[in-house]
Amino acid sequence: MLNKQNCMVISIMFIFILISSMYIGNSGALKCYVCQNCTNLTAKANFTISNDCKSCQKIIKLKNGVLNAITRSCIMDTCTPSNKSVSPWLNITTCCTKTDLCNQSIRLSSEMNIQLIWILFSIWIWYNC
């Protein structure tokens, strides 16, 4: 079993890594898109994006609901809205977004995210010291 001083150092180190990973992960993913006056999203077929609407959003979800990935990419003319299953484990939804996405990060979002795991691990170390 670790002594109290070593446990404190390890816990502080994990908290520092947690805070650093949040800032580094978000800063590296900054993109700027402007999307205005897109056509109606209820269309089932391909549609043309008007007024330089440049953002296409893809949402990938595991069917068990544990992990969701959202990506936004720049598109030129068309975006195909779809909601399809490509495998027994994944659902993919593609749509054009109307919002101004400037300075919003593209990141993985999950119900059980990695920051929570780091916090719980730090508490566990602190408790066992």
For residue 13, the model assigns a pLDDT of: 74
Contacts 24+ apart (CB under 8 A), 23-26: 25/105, 25/107, 26/105, 26/107
Answer yes or no: is 99 within a domain: yes
Does the predicted model carry a pTM greater than 0.75? no
Answer yes or no: is 1 within a domain: no
Q: pLDDT-based confidence at 122, cuts 50/70/90? A: confident
Answer yes or no: is 4 within a domain: no
Give the count of domains, the chain. Answer: 1
In terms of average pLDDT, the best of 28-37, 39-48, 49-58, 79-88 is 79-88
More confident: 60 or 35: 60
Answer yes or no: is 105 within a domain: yes
Answer yes or no: is 16 within a domain: no
Domain span including residue 57: 29-127
